[in-house]
Amino acid sequence: MTDIMWDSEIYERALDTKPLAPSDAGPPLADPRRLRDTLGNFATGVVVLTYRSGDSHYGVTVNSFTSVSLDPPLVLVSMQRTSRALTYLLERPFTVNVLGDDQLATALHFAGKPQEGHLVEWAGDDIAPRLDGSLAYFQCTPWAGYDGGDHVLVLGRVMAYGQRDDTSPLLFYRGRWSALAREADGAEPGRSRS
């Protein structure tokens, strides 16, 4: 298997390009539902952003998360302007908890759909509260907030992080919860069995 160079750029001249005719263009951008459905074709991971307010821990499920920089270590989440959590994320430390495929009940809980009998387990920490058992976590301090239309792009500076290797990610695709497919031998795609 070859190593992929993610920081390399390759330029290739496009041959025989022509502008699209109006009849070849996609649906009008004035249809937000169709735009949202089309954007849903990009499978994403699922994270819960957790923070402290007073003596209580809170969280919100989102699927718009990405790495931004290694130096300094920055990550980005996109939050709706109407989210009650937004003010807290801009003012105090928070944790990005990347959920494993065994944490659907937790994702639903913090999406406002608590599951009967599900108990959220917290890991004690001084920086920001985090969920116990997450696939990965990034504890952050607020770095900056940027206008993103009906969303605000929140950058966090990573202060601590960790991961577990015994599970796969929870995914969101076309408005549904999903998980990585298993190969016939039970291994995850791209991972060899020892």
In a domain, 4, yes or no: no
The answer to whether residue 182 is domain-embedded is: no
Spatial CA neighbour of 67 closest among 179, 157, 127? 157
Q: Give residue-wise pLDDT tens across range 89-143.
A: 999 999 999 999 999 999 999 999 888 999 999 997 789 999 999 999 999 999 9
Long-range CB contacts (within 8 A, 24+) of 32-37: 37/174, 37/175
Whole-angstrom distance, CA of residue 154 vs CA of residue 190: 32
Output the pLDDT for position 12: 64
Residue 143 belongs to some domain of the structure: yes
Q: How many separate domains does the chain show?
A: 1
CA–CA distances in Å: residue 175 to residues 76, 85, 97, 159, 163 = 22, 22, 20, 32, 26
CATH at 150: 2.30.110.10
Q: In this predicted model, what pLDDT tens digit does every residue of 18-73 receive, in sequence order?
A: 666 666 666 666 777 787 777 666 677 899 999 999 889 999 999 889 999 999 99
- What number is the average pLDDT over the span 139-162? 94
Domain residues for 146? 60-166
Q: Is residue 108 part of a domain?
A: yes
Any domain includes 27: no
> What is the pLDDT at residue 193?
44
**Assigned domain for 15 exists:** no
Mean pLDDT for all residues in the chain: 82
What pLDDT, on the 0 to 100 scale, is given for residue 35?
76
Q: Does the pLDDT at position 188 exceed 60?
A: no
Q: Report yes or no on 20 lying in a domain.
A: no
- Estimate the share of the chain in helix, then strand, then coil, as percent rounded to the nearest 5: 15, 40, 50
10 found inside a domain: no
